[in-house]
A = this chain, B = another copy of it.
Amino acid sequence: MDGRFEMIPIGKIRKTPDRVWMEIDPEYQDAMNGLELYSHIHVLYWFHENDTPDQRQILKVHPCKNPVNPLTGVFATHSPMRPNLIGLTLCHVISIDGLCIRLTDIDARDLTPIIDIKGYFPHEIREPLRYPQWEQGQK
């Protein structure tokens, strides 16, 4: 398929031993208006440490980096190895203060670039849910 798309970081994840937060770049402050109405947000970020042509060609991994889990296509996992290095985590917002959004936690490293935020609405799933054994074993 033709065409490539360019993404711009809108801020970054920050982590210290006792605190997790997002620092949004000042030019995107207006886009945050109304976020305070949500208890949860979807945070989309870029696995920038894997942004090499070789790593972006890895299409199968052992989920959770556990060799016991069967070799699986990256689209069927949340692996940081994938053609487009997008991470997606549903986060609980503790507070918003200016350009700083405090979170209870996020499974991304300090200084990870953020690419989008979406307020979270509950999904209306009526069908029975199916998902792989290896995830169910983690709980």
A137 interface residue per 8 A CB criterion: no
Closest B residue to A4 using CB positions: B6
Query: How many of chain A's residues have a CB under 8 angstroms from any CB in B?
Result: 68
How far does the alpha carbon of A113 sit from the alpha carbon of B42 in the complex, in Å?
21
> How near does chain B come to A133, taking the closest CB pair, in angstroms?
8
- Taking a contact as CB atoms closer than 8 A, the residue among B4, B30, B73, B90 that contacts A59 in the complex is B30
Contact check, A28 vs B113: say whether CB atoms are below 8 A apart: no
User: Known interface pairs A75-B32, A75-B116. Does A130 touch B37 (Cβ–Cβ under 8 Å)?
Assistant: yes
- What sequence of 0s and 1s flags, for each residue 109-139 of chain A, a beta carbon within 8 Å of any chain B beta carbon? 0000101111111110101111111010000
Q: Given the complex, which residues of B lie within 8 Å of A113, measured CB to CB?
A: 1, 3, 5
Contact check, A10 vs B84: say whether CB atoms are below 8 A apart: yes
How far does the alpha carbon of A68 sit from the alpha carbon of B88 in the complex, in Å?
31
How far does the alpha carbon of A33 sit from the alpha carbon of B12 in the complex, in Å?
32
Question: With contacts A3-B9, A10-B83, A35-B75 known, what are 7 further pairs, Cβ within 8 A?
Answer: A5-B9, A30-B60, A34-B70, A34-B77, A38-B131, A41-B75, A75-B118
